[in-house]
Chain A
């Protein structure tokens, strides 16, 4: 492990599932990170909840063993929901609650650098 701090790339469920499901709109970008993970310039943060959403392989068997073997890669950093993370999450949900701030969605879209996403 290098003594300098590597970059942290966090993948959400859609990233990991997109790779597993061979989704062509995501695959090149996701695989382009692999080299950085392998040479130690970046680590892959996987929130523990993401793992719980990978359940069954295409042959009908459990995804558990494959995922455990993948998670053993030294560049994988499992991200745990500690008390600090949970409290921060609650604070942010309260602060940016779209139910109480219906204008939030439109305001967020206005701040996007390339304008609204139109798919």
Chain B
């Protein structure tokens, strides 16, 4: 016979039970059926969860979302973020989301902690209300659910437009890059320049400008060969290679290098007859 004695909840379970949650409810407006289509429910719940996750990431919280309650009769799901490392509920995150969402709904202004990414995910959610349904979001308290309406959608869009798009900026970094000296553009003293062809992006040349007239000698020696330039390298956002450079130094690489790959074999003996993997571990982890 099964043991029907009710198990006593542990302190951590009690803490989770008492912590704030977020909820999503879908009701059908179709008079012919009272049941919600399972695809509609799962799709909407997934987009809602994506919006919650986007917000959590922006707050720097590493949480996993746990189901606190799930009711079939009303297509209702209640979730709670739990910190991965401490296993404790992230109550502050729930409060920030709930307050932020309500502020957006009321004013159309984005709260400081809702970035463009969070707002974009929220917009995706509020515009995904399935046909013939009412989708409500709440904070787990009775009567807290508010339906997503056309006004909600308008407010979220308004908030997204008010949040300036964070455009990644170009940056400059001191460094070196090597390539083929392809085109000598200009010898004019006020605008000396040449083009460098990088091996991995041969169709995109780096426009190199320089002021020091002494570099002309290096350019002559290195033409059609490989050179290494050093100076201020200019990068476009999310591009690994520079698109322009203010060159301070040019080093012409030898056309016939003295040491080949094969010449390196056996040049070192690692201490204690270690192999390279053990040696690197010992160096990096001080093992």
Chain B, interface size category, equals 35 or more
Residues on the A chain within 8 Å of B239, using CB: 84
What residue in chain B is nearest A54 (Cβ atoms)? B268
Which residues of A sit under 8 angstroms from B233, Cβ to Cβ? 82
Q: Which chain A positions have C-beta within 8 A of B143?
A: none
Interface size on A, residues (CB 8 A): 49
Identity of the chain A residue whose Cβ is nearest the Cβ of B85 in the assembled complex: A100
CA separation between A13 and B270, bound complex, in Å? 13
Residues from chain B with a CB closer than 8 A to the CB of A77 are: 178, 199-200
Judge whether A109 is part of the interface by a CB distance below 8 angstroms.
no
Q: Which residues of B contact A69 (CB under 8 A)?
A: 257-259
Q: Does B59 contact A (CB under 8 A)?
A: no
Give the residue of B173, B254, B258, B277 whose beta carbon is less than 8 angstroms from that of A14. Answer: B277
Identity of the chain B residue whose Cβ is nearest the Cβ of A43 in the assembled complex: B199
Tell me the A residues contacting B by CB distance below 8 Å. Answer: 1-6, 8, 13-23, 26-27, 30-31, 33-34, 37, 43-44, 53-54, 56-58, 63, 66, 69-70, 72-75, 77-78, 80, 82-85, 100-101
Q: A20 and B268: CB pair below 8 A? A: yes
Q: Does B155 sit at the interface, judged by CB under 8 A?
A: no
| Closest residue on chain B to residue A65 by CB atoms | B259
Q: Could you tell me which B residues sit within 8 Å of A by CB distance?
A: 62, 84-85, 171, 173, 175-180, 197, 199-203, 225-226, 233, 235, 237-240, 253-254, 257-270, 275-277, 279-280, 283
CA distance in complex: A1, B270 (Å) = 36
Determine the distance from Cα of A101 to Cα of B63 in the docked complex, in whole angstroms: 11
B residues near A27, Cβ cutoff 8 Å = 265
Residues in chain B near residue A20, CB distance under 8 A: 264-268
CA distance A101 to B180 in the complex (A): 45
Q: Which residues of B contact A44 (CB under 8 A)?
A: 261
Contacting residues, chain B, for A5 (C-beta < 8 A): 200-203
Residues of B within 8 A of A54 (CB): 268
Question: Out of A3, A57, A82, which one reaches B173, CB within 8 Å?
Answer: A82
Contacts of A19 in B (CB 8 A): 261, 264-265
24 example contacts (A-B, Cβ-Cβ < 8 A) are as follows A3-B203, A5-B203, A6-B200, A14-B276, A14-B280, A19-B261, A21-B269, A31-B261, A53-B280, A57-B267, A57-B268, A58-B268, A63-B267, A70-B257, A70-B261, A70-B263, A72-B254, A72-B257, A73-B260, A74-B226, A77-B178, A82-B233, A83-B173, A85-B240
Q: A72-B253, A73-B260, A82-B240 are in contact. Are A17 and B200 (CB under 8 A)?
A: no
Q: Is the CB of A100 within 8 A of B84?
A: yes
Shortest Cβ distance from B44 into chain A, in angstroms? 27
